[in-house]
Structure 1
Amino acid sequence: MANQSSRYPILCASFNQDNSGFAISTKDGFKIIDSNTGRLCYDRAVGAFIIVEMLYSSSLLAIVGAGEQPSLSPRRLCLFNTTTGAPLREMTFLTSILAVRLNRKRLVVVLQEKTYIYDSNSLSMLDTIDTVPNLKGLCAFSPSLEGCFLALPATTAKGAVLVYNVMELQLHCEIDAHRSPLAAIALSSNGKYIATASEQGTIIRVHLVSEATKSYSFRRGTCPSTIFSLSFAPSLQLPDILVATSSSGSVHIFSLGFETNQRTKMSGSFLGSILPYSVNDALDPAHHHVLHNAVSAGVRSYAVVRKVDKVADSSSSEIASCRAIISLIAYNGYFQEYTFTLNSQNESTWSLEREFNLVAVISGNAETS
């Protein structure tokens, strides 16, 4: 997730595929930090980068320069080995690279009007996708090899999404999600669900990828706001929660049901968010939980759900509470980690567990405050 403005110290920020680590870039270089401990794992001060993507916790990085130095062209993708400190392969494109996504089998490179799919091991080109002008490099990628999908804007006139199966190298579906152009999209880690937000930012929708016509709506608010990030909780089935950040400075959590096809059962169960069967419906506000003023209004931010634990009631098989770990990166230079707890009465609490200055991280564990 690259920062479009240079007024903040963080130029880009990205978590790896399992959210166990993250990368940030400043005007001086980039850093790899362990999400669990805040420990600095790697630091390279060689100039500004607009893209730094990790492959899980391996030594492989995909990096793209910000263009402030001739050797760091925004048209050049470098696959970099942090163990040897040397590039493994460089690939140069005709226009600037706007986004890069990768897993153990596929490498995706997004340009303004073309998207390239490569084999991650041989780096042979497998497919080229002609796209509508994608000035922000908007895309979503599910790293699972069983449901390995890539989502891209389908049009600039409204919020439609193209979903490609990058393992089978074919178009999977097109989803008409919003009347306004897209601002954010996210795929669940297993590729089963996709979340979208338009430039209005008032409604967030969740779609079942296998049934592109089925959509569920969640109201974030009534006033327009720019959605900076969307992220599902890790799960093999329907993710338990969806987290969003916006230009209002708030963090939003939407609690999701466990079974999309059992509306009656869901309505009476814990976290039983009634997922509406029409895109015109909006989720009951009771299932929308907000942490206000997590960052200053207007500051770009990026949040992920790193872990979800559910506690069962000792006297029954029902879930008594849900506890989630939310990690937040603000582009003004700060990392925050919250514990979000939701009980069976739908009462939620937020607790700030850690906060530290990303730019000041040098070595060892980050200092918390």
Structure 2
Amino acid sequence: MNTHNPVISSKKSSRSNILCIKFNQDQGCFAVSHEYGFLVYNTNPFELRVNRTFDNSSSSGSGIGHIAMLHRTNYLALVGGGKTPKYPSNRLVVWDDLKRKNSLSIDFLNPILNVLLSRMRIIVVLKNHVAVYGFSSPPKKYAIYETIDNEHGIADLSTSYPHTATGAYSGASLSSSESLSSSSRMEKYQILAFPGRSVGQIQLVDISPAGQEKNLVSIIKAHKSKIRCLTLNRSGTMVASASETGTIIRVHSTHNTALLWEFRRGLDRAIITSMEFSHNDSKLAVLSDKNTLHIYDLSFVNEIQNASSDFTNFQKSHPSNRYHILGSLPLPIPVPNYFKSVWSFCSINTNKFHTDNSEDDSSLNDVGVVGWASNDSVIIVWKNKKLWEKYVIVERKAETNSEDPNSNSAWDLVRFSWKRLDGFDE
């Protein structure tokens, strides 16, 4: 087990708070925006690749409130924010980092709350609608979808093709741009998910050229309360969601809106701050404002129907979600649904790693963003602590009679390595 010492600087940060953290489409990189510009890091191994600082002496300011990467190309979507915004909060700018200048911009009447990019589309999330544009100059508006009040800018976009590493980050600058119109790169199927016009609903649309010609919209009645967090898998076949209550996570099929899984996070309310499917869709990582990371097994949905062995052998070789003991007992009275819930197969409260190093109690209420380094390792990037962490899923054999084929096994999350974010020290 790797127990790297954390890289901690004793100097105070010369930068203000991080304003936005977002992984790119394959989670191989992530971008961080702050009061003076933005940085781009390689996810694993962790490494600072790009550091852009804007001059805040001019009237335009320097703060970047929202950022989104276009895979590993030189294009990034930027929205002004912070104490001295570089751009108005209602203006989207596509930044060409190769030329170090704005490539295109779109102005709106209201503040922008989120931005999603693909090689063909620009999606802008506002409080009451989602706008879809073509990635061209000038941008062409394709569609606008109304939503319920979406003050958190909740939305996600799938990519339906395997990403190749051409145009990867190199040195201190972004790579030269990839062709946005190449036929070999065209997305044939791209699902956009966002809150619907009613409480608890998720709206799904295919924004690929073929999908927009059909103009089909699917509605999932996912929760009784407002949607607080949602995420799509890469292929756009599954969508996971949590409501403002934060006790239940549901996974639906995007093809027929069927409920595939219902998971229990806990009994008390919590805000689900980030969720992400693993690369092979076998697991779902869920992080809450209680700083607890849960991992749920999805392999039954994806693999058991095609498994060559029987279900018993399949269970022995895969992580298994937990169930309450009362849910399986033959009781003479009805058992509440709580005891029939499906729980994560492993979890960890990350607060135990942060208490000693935190400067104040507010860091314990930090907001983290999750991504997958591999199908068995999860990355968390924390806003307030400016910290990168890697957690690895490891098997823990039961201590009772290890030679017994029916012996149970459990799984643990282990903090494998951690580092402070470079680029924030004086």
User: What TM-score does the superposition give when structure 2 sets the normalisation length?
Assistant: 0.72
Name the residue aligned to 2:42.
34
CA deviation map 1:284-327 (0-9, x unaligned): 33x4311112565421111112212xxxxxxxxxxxxxxx1211
In the alignment, is residue 161 of structure 1 matched against residue 210 of structure 2?
Answer: no
Identity of aligned residues (%): 26
Counterpart amino acid of residue 326 in structure 1: V
Q: 1:328 — aligned with what?
A: 380
The 1:223/1:267 distance shift into structure 2, 3 A limit, reads: farther
CA displacement at 1:38 relative to structure 2: 2.2
Task: Name the CA distance, whole Å, in 2 between partners of 1:109 and 1:266.
Answer: 44
Q: What secondary structure does 2:222 align onto?
A: strand
The answer for the alignment partner of 1:284 in structure 2 is 342
Aligned length: 333
Whether the 8 Å contact between 2:90 and 2:112 is mirrored in structure 1 is: yes
Residue 46 of structure 2 aligns to a residue whose secondary structure is coil
Corresponding residue for 2:262?
217
Correspondence for 2:116 among 101, 119, 125: 101
2:219: which partner in 1? 174
Equivalent residue for 1:5?
A: none
1:25-104 → structure 2 map (5 Å cutoff): 25-46=33-54, 47-66=62-81, 68-69=83-84, 71-104=86-119
Of residues 266-275 and 221-230 in structure 1, the stretch that sits farther from structure 2 once superposed is 266-275
- Residue 69 of structure 1, CA deviation: 3.5
Q: Distance in 2 between matches of 1:70 and 1:337?
A: 32
Q: How far apart are 1:72 and its partner, in Å?
A: 1.6
Considering only aligned residues, what root-mean-square deviation do their CA atoms show, in Å? Answer: 2.6
Name stretches of at least 5 consecutive residues in structure 2 with no aligned partner: 1-15, 55-61, 161-186, 324-336, 355-362, 398-407
Q: Is the 8 A contact 1:150 1:165 kept in 2?
A: yes
Confirm whether residue 226 of structure 1 aligns to residue 271 of structure 2: yes
Which one of the candidate residues 150, 169, 175 is aligned to 1:134?
150
| Match in the other structure for 2:141 | 125
| 1:12 paired residue among 8, 12, 20 | 20
The reply to whether residue 300 of structure 1 matches residue 367 of structure 2 is: yes
Task: Quote the offset at 1:202 in angstroms.
Answer: 0.7
Deviations 1:109-134 (A, max 9, x none): 11112211111245211112122221
Of structures 1 and 2, the one scoring higher in RCO (CA 8 A, sep 6+) is 2
**Aligned mates of 2:239, 2:322 — CA distance in 1:** 14
| Structure-to-structure mapping, 1:231-250, within 5 angstroms | 231-235=276-280, 239-250=281-292
Corresponding residue for 2:419?
Answer: 356
What is the aligned counterpart of 1:193 among 235, 238, 247? Answer: 238
User: C-alpha distance in 1, partners of 2:119/2:42?
Assistant: 20
Contact 2:48/2:422, CA 8 A, preserved across alignment: no
Larger Rg: 2
CA shift, 1:350, in A, is 2.6
Secondary structure at 1:180 match in 2: coil
Note the alpha carbon deviations across 1:213-258, whole angstroms, 9 max, x for none: 33420011111111001100012xxx11100110111111111124
Find 2:190's aligned residue among 134, 142, 148.
148
Higher percent of residues as helix = 2
Further displaced range: 249-258 or 289-298: 289-298
TM-score (norm 1): 0.83
Partners in 1 of 2:96 and 2:278 — Cα distance? 29
* Residues 93 and 199 of structure 1, relative CA distance in 2, 3 Å threshold: same
User: Contact conserved, 1:263 with 1:275, CA < 8 A, in 2?
Assistant: no
Work out whether residues 140 and 150 of structure 1, in 8 Å CA contact, stay in contact via their aligned partners in 2.
yes
CA contact (8 A) 1:76 1:92 kept: yes
Deviation sequence 1:7-46 (CA, Å, 0-9, x none): x822110000001100011222210111123222111122
Is 1:271 aligned with 2:318? Answer: yes
Q: Distance in 2 between matches of 1:32 and 1:298?
A: 24
Secondary structure in 1 aligned to 2:17?
coil
Q: Measure how far apart 1:172 and its partner are.
A: 3.2
Amino acid of the structure 2 residue aligned with 1:140:
D
One-letter amino acid of the structure 2 residue matched with residue 218 of structure 1 = F
Q: Residues 188 and 194 of structure 1 are in contact (CA less than 8 Å); yes or no, is this contact kept in structure 2?
A: yes
Structure 1 ranges of 4+ moved more than 6 A:
none
Structure 1: distance between partners of 2:341 and 2:115: 33
Distance in 2 between the 1:135 and 1:215 partners? 28
The aligned counterpart of 1:184 is: 229
Moved more, 204-213 or 255-264: 255-264
CA shift, 1:75, in A, is 0.7
What SS does the corresponding residue of 1:347 show, helix, strand or coil?
Answer: strand
219-228 vs 122-131, greater mean Cα deviation: 122-131
Query: Which stretch of structure 1 is more off in the superposition, 221-230 or 118-127?
Result: 118-127
For residues 70 and 361 of structure 1, the distance between their equivalents in structure 2, rounded to whole angstroms, comes to 19
**1:252 maps to which of 288, 294, 305:** 294
